[in-house]
Structure 1
Amino acid sequence: MRIHLVFHHARVAVIGLVSIIGTAAIVGTAADAVAQTESPIKWVVDSPLPTGEGLAAAYSADHNISSHSSVIFCDDFESGELGAKWDETSNRGDALAFVDESLGSASPTQKLLGKRSLKVTATLGKNTGGGFTTWFQPADRLFIRFYTKFDEDCDYVHHFCTLRANKSLRGGERWSGFGGAGKLPDGEERFSTAIEPWGNWGKWSPPGRWNFYSYWHTMKPSPDGKYWGNGFRPETQPDIERGEWICVEFMILHNTPGKNDGEQAYWIDGELRGHWTGFNWRTSPTLFANAFTLESYVTDRWTKQTENTVFFDNVVIANEYVGPCGPAN
């Protein structure tokens, strides 16, 4: 299978494309591709990673999943105030609310998610949405699973859910992985990867198709010479359905400093969509992914719909594959 690696950001006017076939990397605009150095990043054709059920299968609707030894953090939003289990809340223009999505719903998935879900509403001209961030004790391999639903009228989303590596869990160093858009990361200070819907500059139906948006110290520059996130996704996959709950999970494996042995992968509804190896995420053995931001961030770059609503539920961070929720009792 051929995969595409793209550079995309709201402020980039030209399209940069890298097609990785084996280990050969080509970068440039659609009209002018220029050969680059060989890339160590490879699509895994026959991935050994699990699919389908994971540790969550043993927990009905995630009830008591926090008791599993591999679970680092979880929130099903069934109790507490906004952000009660999280370290930071971004609620620009009152974008966040808890809602009962079970009312009048016959969806089997809704039964797995309980009564309360997080609703994020971004309104053009008023706010850009919002969400929560948690810092946590890291592990060599991390899995982040959450459920999300895009409203029937939801347009394009600029940025979504991001895992960041920070130098420390304390003081100012806990923020080293935030910011830095357009700049090449320092391998001792930060890297990040986000799972996002991407609209391909308005070419795909909103909200788009699933895509990794990644920053790390050996990433490729975009055609404008800056370092916007590099994208990873299968060459083909279906558009994201609106109005339906989706189980999203992604994984990273930290590299050994000095080696290209890092990985990332993502699953949709328990189906492995893509697995990539060859990442050199970091140069320091003490730099770990240790913060996760759950958010819907919307701007008017491609989005025309005035109000754009996204729902979230049943967030789990673990050091082994989580998979979809177990069946409801």
Structure 2
Amino acid sequence: MQKIFGCHPICLTAVCAALIVSPVSPAFAQSDSPVRLIEESELPTGEGLASNFESDREIASHAAVIFADDFESGDLGSKWDDTSNRENALSFVTKPSSATGQDPDVLGERSLKVTATLDKNTGGGFTKWFESSERLFIRFYTKFDEDCDYVHHFCTLRANKSLQGKDRWSGFGGAGLLPDGKERFSTAIEPWGNWGKWSPPGRWNFYSYWHTMKASPDGKYWGNGFRPKSQPNIQRGDWICVEFMIQHNTPGENDGEQAYWIDGELRGHWTGFNWRTSPTLFANALTLESYVTDRWTKQSENIVYFDNVVIAKSYIGPSRPNR
């Protein structure tokens, strides 16, 4: 089933999609939803195109790769199009450093550090606009610091009407509002803490907005959440390979998909999405960020690391260590 508080998700069961509800309302089945969790998916697992490149070096040369940043060179955000809260929240960290716990055989010399400090800032990150594809895969490595608390929003893929001018922002904002199928849709891979019931930062979930999503009982449209029936809590202090996929639907049809993998393991694959009604609307902007505002977050400083970001047209898989 699915639930909602403010603008954060719970889950989708294997047998049905459910109407989003507030934390004080009982959940109930939405039996006519076309969205389904696929029990026996044929999507790939384990190694992907990244297995051809040691530590992702030269991975951008692969024909299926749209964008890649391993943060090994350049200034903050030099390969990205927009930067949020650069001075207060973003920095690079280099090895050797016991604070990063970075594996030099996989992640190289440098990674991105995002520091969110309660009552001072909400964290920050980067956004990249790109030429899209019918099927997209986004892979990145992340690590939550040993003391990191709950994170509100994480890494989001958004569909905008174009890559230029004001239309490139058409997929941003709109919390609580039903998207127009010609204007926008989005999906984010995020940690979710089940209203403080799971150890921070929680468990992985999708948090998605699209024009046929379900409303909450307050009549507003908060993101619908999707996760498998069970999965382990996210471990802090360890680097995690996160990958997610979106398949664009035939405009107006319920044949869109999304899926995510953790360390090369497929955790969930959902079909039946009617993401868009326009053939020119594509997911074309990735925001990589750690955004902290949750009411259950008590830790004053919350640090998250990122590395080895890749956007591609086919399954990427974990980075290959040096041999």
* Fold shared, TM-score > 0.5 on shorter chain: yes
Q: Determine if the alignment matches structure 1 residue 295 to structure 2 residue 292.
A: no
Partner of 2:2: 5
Shift of 1:26: 5.8
CA distance in 2, matches of 1:187, 1:28: 23
CA distance in 2, matches of 1:37, 1:46: 21
Which of 168, 175, 181 lines up with 2:169 in the alignment? 175
The answer to whether the 8 A contact 2:10-2:226 is kept is no
CA distance in 1, matches of 2:94, 2:117: 21
Q: Determine if the alignment matches structure 1 residue 269 to structure 2 residue 263.
A: yes
The answer to whether the 8 A contact 1:198-1:208 is kept is yes
Structure 1 unaligned residues grouped into runs of 5+: none
Partner of 2:145: 151
Match of 2:109, as an amino acid?
K
Match of 1:205, as an amino acid?
S
Q: Determine if the alignment matches structure 1 residue 44 to structure 2 residue 38.
A: yes
Paired residue secondary structure (2:3): strand
Closer, same or farther: CA 221–25 of 1 in aligned 2, 3 Å: same
Partner of 1:128: 122
Q: How does 1:47-196 map to 2 (within 5 A)?
A: 47-91=41-85, 94-103=88-97, 109-196=103-190
CA distance in 1, matches of 2:41, 2:48: 16
Shift of 1:108: 7.9
Closer, same or farther: CA 159–199 of 1 in aligned 2, 3 Å: same
Shift of 1:17: 7.2
Q: Determine if the alignment matches structure 1 residue 202 to structure 2 residue 190.
A: no
Tell me which moved more, 129-138 or 295-304. Answer: 295-304
The answer to whether the 8 A contact 1:6-1:232 is kept is no
Structure 2 unaligned residues grouped into runs of 5+: none
The answer to whether the 8 A contact 1:133-1:291 is kept is yes
Tell me which moved more, 33-42 or 169-178. Answer: 33-42
Q: Determine if the alignment matches structure 1 residue 325 to structure 2 residue 319.
A: yes
Q: How does 1:247-262 map to 2 (within 5 A)?
A: 247-262=241-256
Taking only aligned residues, the RMSD between alpha carbons, in angstroms, comes to: 2.1
Closer, same or farther: CA 102–68 of 1 in aligned 2, 3 Å: farther
Shift of 1:140: 0.2
Shift of 1:22: 3.6
CA distance in 1, matches of 2:21, 2:293: 26
Closer, same or farther: CA 204–34 of 1 in aligned 2, 3 Å: closer
CA distance in 1, matches of 2:258, 2:104: 29
Closer, same or farther: CA 141–102 of 1 in aligned 2, 3 Å: farther
CA distance in 2, matches of 1:128, 1:17: 22
Partner of 1:222: 216
Q: How many residues were matched structurally?
A: 322
Match of 2:232, as an amino acid?
P
Closer, same or farther: CA 256–155 of 1 in aligned 2, 3 Å: same
Shift of 1:107: 6.4
Shift of 1:224: 1.7
Closer, same or farther: CA 17–91 of 1 in aligned 2, 3 Å: closer
The answer to whether the 8 A contact 1:211-1:232 is kept is yes
Runs of 4+ in 1 over 6 A off after TM superposition: 105-108
Shift of 1:101: 4.0
